[in-house]
Amino acid sequence: MLNKRVEDALNAQINAEFWSAYLYLSMSSYLAHAGYPGFANWYSIQFQEEQAHAQIMVNYVLSRGGRVLLKPIAEVKTEWESPLNCFEETLLHENNVTAMINDLYTVTLEEKDFATQSMLKWFIDEQVEEEKNAQDIIDNLRMIKDNGYGIYMIDKELGARTFVTPAPLAGK
């Protein structure tokens, strides 16, 4: 059974994950409209991943006898300067998510909730990957600058990304 402090912290993170999904859907829509279908695809997959992250936590809270409390999703930004600007903001956002996951983990340490610590280990590892992916794309975009062919190639590469069900939802 979850104690109230851990349950409240998990609920806050669930809502943050849904907000992240909404942000990435907004970025996907912006980039599709701007003529970058591959970049839009990358963010569409990111949208699905964030929903899956929230679902993992929802499932966990319910499995531990807790209650999930969903809040209204706050407004997200809808305009960016460029694909590079989207990814720079994505990296900043993922840094914030990492800090939130770390704070949540700290709560579980203070409450001696070892089961939730174990569940959160997957999210800690996931955040390292999220930050690296965003940084790699930023580095590539900065390297090619405004080279149209380079942007075209990155757009094509990102268009090949597909959604993979996260292990905690796939029963792995």
Distance CA 68, CA 140 (A): 40
Residue 10, number of CB atoms within 10 A of its CB: 26
The pLDDT assigned to 172 comes to 59
Task: For the chain, give the percent of residues with pLDDT over 90.
Answer: 97
Domain residues for the domain of 48 are: 4-170
User: Long-range contacts for 150-154 (Cβ within 8 Å, ≥24 apart)?
Assistant: 151/36, 151/83, 154/38, 154/39, 154/83
Query: Which CA distances in Å does 73 have to 7, 19, 20, 70, 141?
Result: 19, 6, 10, 9, 31
Categorize the per-residue pLDDT at 105 as very low, low, confident or very high, splitting at 50, 70 and 90.
Answer: very high
Amino acid residing at 145:
K
User: Average pLDDT for residues 83-109, to the nearest whole number?
Assistant: 98
Q: Count structural domains, the chain.
A: 1
Whether residue 31 has pLDDT greater than 70: yes
Predicted structure pTM score: 0.96
The pLDDT assigned to 171 comes to 77
User: Average pLDDT for residues 37-41, to the nearest whole number?
Assistant: 98
Q: What region does 52 belong to: left with phi over 0, alpha with psi -120 to 50, or beta? A: alpha
Which CATH number characterizes residue 135's domain?
1.20.1260.10
Task: For the chain, give the percent of residues with pLDDT over 70.
Answer: 99
Give tens-digit pLDDT for 120-171. 999 999 999 999 999 999 999 999 999 999 999 999 999 999 999 999 999 7
The pLDDT assigned to 89 comes to 98
How far is residue 90 CA from its own chain's centroid?
A: 9
